[in-house]
Amino acid sequence: MMGQGTPVIILKEGTSRERGKGAVYNNIAAAKAVADAVRTTLGPRGMDKMLVDSLGDVVITNDGVTILKEIDVEHPAAKMLVEVAKTQDQQCGDGTTTAVILTGELLKKAEELLDQNVHPTVITKGFNIAAEEAIKALKEKIAFEVKPEDDETLKKIAITAMNSKGVGLAREKLAEIAVKAVKAVISKKDGKITFDPGHIKIEKKHGGSVEDTSLIDGVLIDKERAHPKMPTVVKDAKIALINSALEIKKGEFDTHIQIRDPAKLQMFIDEEQNALKRKVEMIKKSGANVVFCQKGIDDVALHFMAKDGIFAIKQMKESDMVKLARATGARIITALDDLTESDLGTAALIEEKKIGDSKMTFVTGCKNPRSVSILIRGGTEHVVAEIERSLNDAIRVIGVTLEDGLAVTGGGSPEIELALHLRDFAPKVSGREQLAVEAFARALEVVPWALAENAGLDAINILIELRAAHEGKKGSKTMGVDVLSGKVADMLKLNVIEPVRVKTQAIHSATESAVMILRIDDIIASKKSEPPKGGGPGGGMPGGMPPMM
């Protein structure tokens, strides 16, 4: 038995710990700080951030997820907001800033309720009820249908996604490229459309201008032909995709071949050459005049190929091989003996061109390319990188719109509509959760507020005007903030359209993260993970050698 009054020590002395309301407030403060960092980038009038790393590398961007991935975040709650942005980016490709500032605003409103002694569990339950109702209302009352053949609407959706990025006057052209690219690679199954962004290859080369960006109805490979004597242009190409080395196999272990007779040495060299020649003969026999090889090709084999007028590229990336197979209809083969004419793919033209200061190979004129490429050009590396981010957003939003077949207007119009809907819905919720539903409604208004603020407008006046425009029988669901004229206007007429999934995903992930942060009431420093035994500095191996990886 312990003597009475003897303290029982559970946590090690000096363990960092924060609990109760202090822990919640600490987490909320961290999340709000992250949300505020990206808040000014929202909308067409949003500002850019310049991110400079310790090596002096610079990234200039307006893209929420890029900013949050690049900045060094220490606080555990702040890291959760970075995850929100990443999830939003993976699911929709756009709306990352919206998702993050919505999470921050939900926590801000929750903080006000905590000050009024509303329990975190009550708040989280109310937030979940509100999110469910908001998503239901979005899909049933606010969203409208978009058909796959409606190219104009798809273009508007792409332009809206790129509006906040610094791609300037080339938006129209980039939107057109994005729509064509996505429509070329979508697949239909049981009447449902599926889209994989991996089937669109984006290559970037600085030089030229944004206007020179082009769509290639096939695959663009950032490599040149493997031998200078090979043709630079092949018309009516018959393409073989080979996933094995066109080289003489060396022994698994160190192999020593002893040749005593000099004449035998020449025989040995000739036999190696003949073996390679036979490999090239097999390719020629199949009717192929273009070879893309994932592994290496021996110089001797390249010499024979060049002699036969076969165009070849070696050491191809696996992802490029898959794209080529989809675009040209070729089958990737692993054994040369199996190569037949039926395995070959076709393309109208294969051409090696000099782009900027390097050579690239264009595989174009594929009959039904289920994989396409986009070549991005621009003045500087930073411009090209930002165009790539914009195009990626545009491609993803078109893809999710086609998959769901639903879109909403932008400019803060759905958020205001949902805020009004939730205010009407709140009295139907019994108990203190009603307060959380009202808080959720107020939090949604952060989107139009930030849009107005970033455009240098009076956010309070804009918000009042927006509520009035949405209220009553004459109210319009599509009224939003026109940041260019500084007034409240109809977003449908201004062609500001977004996929419904951008909004639903933002509400989902913002609510889930806010709920998770609110449920934490204790922050305890966990023990450091022990290094493996014998593995400390100087440990592991005799002579103080570091342990082998």
CA distance 440 to 133: 11
Q: Is the pLDDT of residue 420 over 70?
A: yes
Residue tagged active-site, from 40, 61, 63, 153? 63
Looking at the fold, whether 192 and 227 belong to one and the same domain comes out as no
Of 66, 96, 478, 504, the catalytic one is 96
- Whether pLDDT at 546 is above 50: no
Active site residue 393: yes
The count of structural domains within the chain is: 3
Is 96 annotated in the active site? yes
In a domain, 542, yes or no: no
**Percent above pLDDT 70 for the chain:** 89
Instruction: Give the separation between CA 282 and CA 337, rounded to whole angstroms.
Output: 7
Q: Summarize pLDDT for 367-386 with one digit per residue, the tens.
A: 777 888 888 888 788 788 88
Do 222 and 364 share a domain, yes or no? yes
Position 179 in a domain:
yes
- Residue 379 belongs to a domain: yes
- Does 97 qualify as catalytic in the annotation? yes
Identified catalytic residue from 393, 401, 409, 478: 393
The pLDDT-based confidence of 539 (bands split at 50, 70, 90) is very low
CATH at residue 165? 3.30.260.10
Q: Identify the domain containing residue 310 by its residue range.
A: 218-368
Looking at the domain assignment, is residue 537 inside a domain? no
Question: Do 233 and 358 reside in the same domain of the chain?
Answer: yes
Same domain membership, residue 304 and residue 385: no
**N- to C-terminal Cα distance for the chain?**
49
C-alpha dihedral sign at 248, 249, 254, 257: negative
Same domain, 360 and 225: yes
444: left (phi over 0), alpha (psi -120 to 50) or beta: alpha
| Contact assessment for residue 162 and residue 379, using Cβ atoms and an 8 Å cutoff | no
pTM: 0.75
Whether residue 291 is contained in a domain is answered as yes
Annotated catalytic residue, options 41, 66, 87, 97: 97
Structure tokens at 397: 């939003």
Do 499 and 415 have their domain in common? yes
Q: DSSP code of 541?
A: B
Indicate the residue among 340, 368, 396 that finishes a domain.
Answer: 368
Q: How confident is the model at residue 297 (pLDDT cuts 50, 70, 90)?
A: confident
For the cut 90, the answer to whether the pLDDT of residue 339 exceeds it is no
Task: Specify the 3-state DSSP secondary structure of 361.
Answer: strand
Supply the pLDDT for residue 255: 67
Q: Which two tokens stand for residue 150?
A: 């409606």
Q: Is 121 a catalytic residue?
A: no
Note whether 34 and 74 are same-domain residues. Answer: yes
Least confident residue range of 167-176, 355-364, 478-487:
167-176
